[in-house]
Amino acid sequence: MIRKTDFLVIGSGIAGLSYALKAAEHGHVTIITKKNIQQSNTALAQGGVAAVFGKQDSVDLHVADTLKAGDGLCDPDVVKMVVENGPERVRELVDLGARFNMAGTGKFDFAMGREGGHSVKRIIHAHDLTGREIEDALVARARENDNITILEDHVAVNLITFSSSVRSGILVTQYENFCCGAYVLNNTTGRVETFHAAITLLATGGASKVYLYTSNPDIATGDGIAMAYRAGASVANMEFVQFHPTCLFHPKAKNFLISEAVRGEGAVLLDARGRRFMENYTPDRELACRDVVARAIDSELKKTGAESVFLDISHKDPGFVRQRFPNIHARCLEYGIDITTDPIPVVPAAHYMCGGVATDLNGKTDVQRLYAVGETSCTGLHGANRLASNSLLEALVYAHSAYLDSARELPAIKKNMDINLAPWDETDTTDSDEAIVVSHNWDEIRRLMWNYVGIVRSDKRLQRAARRIKSIQDEINEYYWDFTLTSDLVELRNIVTVAKLVIQSALQRKESRGLHYNIGYPEREDNRFLAPTVLKKRF
């Protein structure tokens, strides 16, 4: 059976839901999400949305901070567009029901926080659960919209592309591929279904589960990036993986982030002896950009052999700490840590992909009818290092611009949708009796990436990783075609694709810039590498 829809949205975070609510005004929207609709990176975002509302702030100042953080690789036109349009998108969130901390009685009189890399307070937040507040508001509106179908426990497997050609005399002009939907695994039935869509939007989030230690949920396996690459779309800047400096270090804690806002409110980093160390690395100390702080912590751990460093906010008023960070306070108490009196053990962890599917200012990829927004995309905003809290901002702005562009395109596309799509072919496949192959490869990829393609890299380690990843990918591809699909196998295929892209990109960049640090090339090389790293599959 082929299921038709006007807009197919793959992913249910802030980018996908924001787009879906607007696109539903022009046609039917189907949202595919591989778990519960509220399981997303958005829901775990603690810090907030960076946007210009404060009296001491300005568009020019926010632009300057973003460009500085991006270390020479941001697209200035993109940065300006996102920053200028941010406030209006935040106002839309308020109108949709999102409630943020307020400083006064005005509708948009927000209480502003500060985070690393920002020169002023500009972080709009809902205590330390900003992402959850936004996600709840968007999900509530999506569930009540009759023009939106939400399909949970559905895993996108592959994009469906089609090539058209025209003949003039003896000449045939081949056009670019265009996307016309996706094959999707229904986890309830175990069957792969065919979705035919006029417009397909990738909003699957990031890919940091490719690393052993990460702040991301289990769903962050780079599905959109991997599918787009396999379909022929360009991906860019995959070497720039952001490691958040402060993930809770505790044997029973999994993927719990200690928000950058904690440092923004005055927390300091201490070594195992209780001494501050950030001044040894940068005059910005704890409020430096994430790449600088993560490398400093990594250096301290390697020098001392300690398992963690410590983030200390115990010098602040306990009532303020509990009120400002209720979720972090409560979660740490579960592990016997009272952040009002105790320093928090923290380590860096993979957090955000600054690279992704390359898009234009409208979120368009170079595969026609295919858009990518949010962490799945590479728009040019983040450059070599994302400025804190610019991620939710980018998702909102690009969801809006993608909606405007795709709504304009929809009428013409719908006139030309008479395409016979082939159903998913499961011929000669059998149920697997070797699940250990999936679990073993999954673990090996993540350990390999952490040890060889982490915060500090070298050509020798990258080359070793490339050889091993190729071998693993060959094994996975053979397994993939022989056995009936499961969600675990789909995700494994995607993380090995992402791992390959990160390694290839890192090997191409013979310099150190932003989040990519290679000990063999410790300096920036603006004469050679002042451009995105772009990869495209050869067919």
d(CA 374, CA 206) in angstroms, rounded, equals 8
Indicate the domain borders of the chain. Answer: 2-240+354-414, 241-351, 435-531
Q: Could you confirm whether 290 is annotated as catalytic?
A: yes
Do domains 2-240+354-414 and 241-351 share one topology? The answer is no
β-bridge partners, 61: none
Give average pLDDT by consecutive 10-residue segment, the chain, 539 residues.
94 96 98 87 80 95 97 98 98 96 92 92 92 94 97 96 54 64 95 95 96 90 97 97 93 86 94 95 92 92 92 96 94 96 96 97 96 98 95 97 97 84 76 77 94 96 97 89 86 97 98 96 95 92
Active-site pick, 290, 295, 446, 513: 290
Residue 320: per-residue pLDDT = 96
**CATH code, 241-351:** 3.90.700.10
* pLDDT for 340: 97
Distance separating the N- and C-terminal Cα atoms of the chain: 29
Characterize the bridge pairing of strands 29-32 and 2-10. parallel
Compute how many other C-beta atoms are within 10 angstroms of the C-beta atom of residue 14.
Answer: 32
Q: What is the pTM of this model?
A: 0.92
Structure tokens at 170: 């003896």
Quick one: CA dihedral 512, 515, 516, 522, positive or negative?
A: positive
Residue whose entry in the numeric block shows the structure tokens 């010098």? 315
**Topology classification of domain 2-240+354-414:** FAD/NAD(P)-binding domain (3.50.50)
Quick one: DSSP state of residue 217?
Answer: -
Q: Please identify, in words, the CATH class of the domain defined by 435-531.
A: mainly alpha
Conformational region of residue 266, where left means phi above 0, alpha means psi within -120 to 50, and beta covers everything else? left
Position 168 scores a pLDDT of: 40
